[in-house]
Every structure is written in C-alpha cells, then in structure tokens.
C-alpha cells in the first residue's frame, strides 16, 4: 500500500521531466539507474522527505541518470553467449541503435544477425514515461511488420537469462528506492540501493544494486523472485567512458542461481553521436534495416 502510494507520487512529480531514460533493449540502462534530471525533479524529491533511506536511494538514482543524460544517440554491437548448467553454449549477435528523446523514453532499433534463422529480424521500441512502450517486430521471411504487446516484463529475452524488464528502459518511476549501506566492490567504494519494481507484471519483489560512488556506474544487481528468493545476479565490468562522460560496461554476466544457467553480453564497436534523427527510428525503416 505504502509502496504504491509512494510510487504514484514519484510518478506525478517526474512525469514532466523524463530525460536520459534508456530505451528498450538498452542494456546499458543498467549502467545507471536512469532517472529524471531537472531541478523540478530534484525539488520534487526533497519534498517527499519522509523516509531518509528512500530519499537517499532516490537521490543516487537521479544522480546516476543525470550523468548519463545528453548522449543524443549511439550504436553498438552485441554478442550474447547463453550457457546452460551443463556448459552447452548458444550464441546470438545483434546490433542496436539508440536515440535519446527530450521529454520521453528513448527510441531503439535492434537488428538480429545470428542465429541465421532470425537474420534480418528487427525490433523497434519507443519507450514511454507514461504508459506502455510501443514495439514493432519485423519478420523478414514474411516481409511483415507486427505491432506487438510490450506488456511482457518477466519473460526471457531471446531465450537468455535476461528478462525483458532487465533490458528495457529503466524509468525512475518503475521502482521505489531505499539506500541500504555502503560497500566496497572490485576495490571501489559503492552505494548499495534496494529498488522495488512498481509494475504488477514484474517478475521481482526487489533488487539490490551496487553503484560506485565515484562515477555512479552500476557494478552489480541481485534479483529476488516473486517469492522473495534469490534468483539472479548481474555483474557488469570492462567499463569504458565515451565523450568524456558516458560510461558503458562492455561485459555483463547474468547468472541464474536457481537453474545454473548464465548469459554473457559482450558489447563492442560503440559509436556515439551518429547524427540519427527521428526518421531513422520510424516504423517504416524496419523493412530496410540491415
């Protein structure tokens, strides 16, 4: 009850000022707990100062987002390595492009290269601050563009250990926050923040997030399932800074403790500020995206 009313108030306050939220399949969203950035948002936050731990948790999320705002656009290549408990491997390769939006969630275009049977499949997402995201899927064998439902949150993305909600836009109002403690991870001082998803279709009761104090990068997330049991751990490493500001992890490893399966995401060939326009993320480009 308290969680929901709190989240509603957060949502109201930040709905005007969404910048820097990352689009669906923007796995790099995990580098920062993206959030609103303007003065409005910050004053809104301080006005809700009833719980100091909640206030500090939210402040950390906001700061992480502020540091990631303004990248305009970028593209990158992604290799996914799926492993089961026996060590069998399966590989996926895709390319993604992201376009930052001024007053809404970002747009993303993902093109699949491997496995070869999905070669040419493309996935367009407009993430939104308010309401569900818009998603279209292009099926090259049929030349068909399908608008698809974005209400799948907890299901696996491409058979991996990443759920759709792990890789889609991480809007600040999709969680409530609570600062837990300070910790040292990989030799760096970090904040540990608990966040609780507000979406009723989320597969998690809560997450614990390790964010480094110097650069506000997300080093680690621990996920707890609907029963409250430990489910997965994500570790992000090989951070590289772009344009002197934007940090991106080149390695993400998600381990499912309950099944023993894991998925590695290996990012490469980042390129920022390519001059993308809205028209490059139009539904009509899906059929010619390669």
Partner 1 sequence: MPSLRRTHFPAWLPLLFLSAMAAVPAFSQASDLQSSPPNTEPAPAQSEPGEWAGFWGLELRAFESESVSGQEDQVGSLILEPEYFRQWNDGRDRLVVRPFARLDSEDDERSHFDIRELYWQRLGKRWQLDVGFRKVFWGVTESVHLVDIVNQADGVEDPDGEDKVGQPMVHLGLTKPWGRLDLYLLTGFRERTFPGADGRLRPPIKVDVDAARYESGAEEGHIDLALRWSRVLGDVDLGVSYFRGTSREPLLLPETRGEALVLTPFYAQIDQLGIDVQATLDAWLWKLEAVSRWSGEPDDPTPGFGDYLAAAAGFEYTFFDLRGSGLDVGLLLEYLWDERREQATTAFEDDIFVGARLAWNDVQSTELLVGAAFDVDSDAAFISVEGSRRLGERYELELRLRAFVNPEPDDPLSAFAEDDYLQLSLKRYF
Site for partner 1, rule CB under 8 A: 82, 84, 90-91, 114-120, 132, 134, 142-149, 151-156, 158-159, 201, 203, 225-226, 273-275, 277, 279-280, 282-284, 288, 290
The burial of 56, by beta-carbon neighbours within 10 Å (0-12 exposed, 13-18 middle, 19 or more buried), is given as: middle
CB of 243 to partner 1, least distance (A): 13
**Measured between alpha carbons, how far is 174 from 189 in angstroms, rounded to an integer?**
26
d(CA 165, CA 178): 20
Judged by CB, which is closer to partner 1: 31, or 202? Answer: 202
Shortest spacing between CB 162 and partner 1, in angstroms: 11
At closest approach, how far in Å is the CB of 238 from partner 1?
25
Nearest-angstrom CA–CA distance, 181 and 164: 28
Residue that the structure tokens 């430990």 belong to:
230
Q: How far is CA 98 from the centre of its chain?
A: 12
Shortest distance, CB of residue 244 to partner 1, whole angstroms? 17
What's the rounded Cα separation, in Å, for the pair 92 and 82? 8
Pair of tokens at residue 247: 């940090």
Token pair, residue 266, equals: 């290996």
Rounded to a whole number of angstroms, the minimum distance from the CB of residue 289 to partner 1 is: 10
State which residue, 49 or 148, has the beta carbon closest to partner 1: 148
State the minimum distance, in angstroms, from the CB of residue 121 to partner 1.
11
Query: Which is closer to partner 1, CB of 137 or CB of 185?
Result: 137
Which of residues 181 and 226 has its CB atom nearest to partner 1 in the complex? 226
For partner 1, which is the closer residue by CB, 53 or 266?
A: 266
Q: Which is nearer to partner 1, 38 or 156 (CB)?
A: 156
Burial (0-12, 13-18, 19+ Cβ within 10 Å), 270: middle
DSSP character for 267? E
- CB 236, min distance to partner 1, A: 23
Q: What is the DSSP letter of 156?
A: B
- Shortest reach from residue 163's CB to partner 1, in Å: 8
Q: Is the Cβ of residue 120 or residue 257 nearer to partner 1 in the bound state? A: 120
DSSP string across 206-266? EEEEEEETTT--EEEEEEEETTS-EEEEEEEEEEEEETTTEEEEEEEEEEETTT--EEEEE
How far is 24 from 122, CA to CA, in rounded Å?
13
Of 137 and 180, which has the nearer Cβ to partner 1?
137
Report DSSP letters for 208-222, one per residue: EEEEETTT--EEEEE
């Amino acid at each position: 009850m308290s969680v929901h009313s709190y989240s509603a108030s957060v949502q109201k306050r930040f709905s005007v000022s969404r910048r820097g939220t990352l689009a669906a399949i923007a796995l790099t969203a995990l580098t920062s707990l993206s959030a609103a950035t303007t003065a409005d948002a910050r004053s809104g936050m301080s006005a809700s100062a009833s719980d100091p731990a909640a206030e500090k948790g939210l402040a950390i999320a906001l700061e992480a987002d502020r540091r990631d705002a303004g990248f305009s656009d970028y593209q990158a290549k992604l290799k996914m390595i799926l492993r089961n408990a026996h060590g069998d491997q399966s590989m996926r390769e895709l390319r993604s492009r992201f376009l930052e939006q001024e007053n809404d969630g970002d747009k993303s275009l993902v093109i699949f290269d491997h496995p070869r049977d999905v070669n040419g499949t493309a996935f367009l997402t407009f993430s939104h601050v308010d309401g569900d995201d818009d998603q279209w899927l292009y099926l090259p064998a049929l030349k068909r563009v399908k608008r698809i439902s974005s209400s799948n949150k907890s299901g696996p993305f491409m058979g991996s250990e990443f759920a759709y909600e792990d890789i889609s836009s991480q809007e600040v109002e999709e969680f409530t926050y609570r600062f837990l403690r300070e910790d040292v991870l990989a030799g760096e001082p970090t904040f540990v923040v608990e966040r609780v998803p507000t979406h009723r279709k989320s597969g998690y009761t809560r997450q614990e997030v390790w964010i480094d104090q110097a650069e506000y990068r997300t080093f680690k997330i621990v996920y707890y399932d609907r029963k409250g049991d430990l489910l997965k751990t994500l570790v992000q490493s090989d951070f590289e800074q772009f344009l002197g500001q934007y940090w991106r992890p080149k390695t993400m490893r998600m381990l499912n403790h309950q099944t023993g399966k894991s998925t590695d995401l290996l990012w490469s060939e980042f390129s920022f500020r390519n001059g993308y326009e809205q028209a490059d993320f139009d539904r009509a480009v899906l059929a010619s995206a390669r």
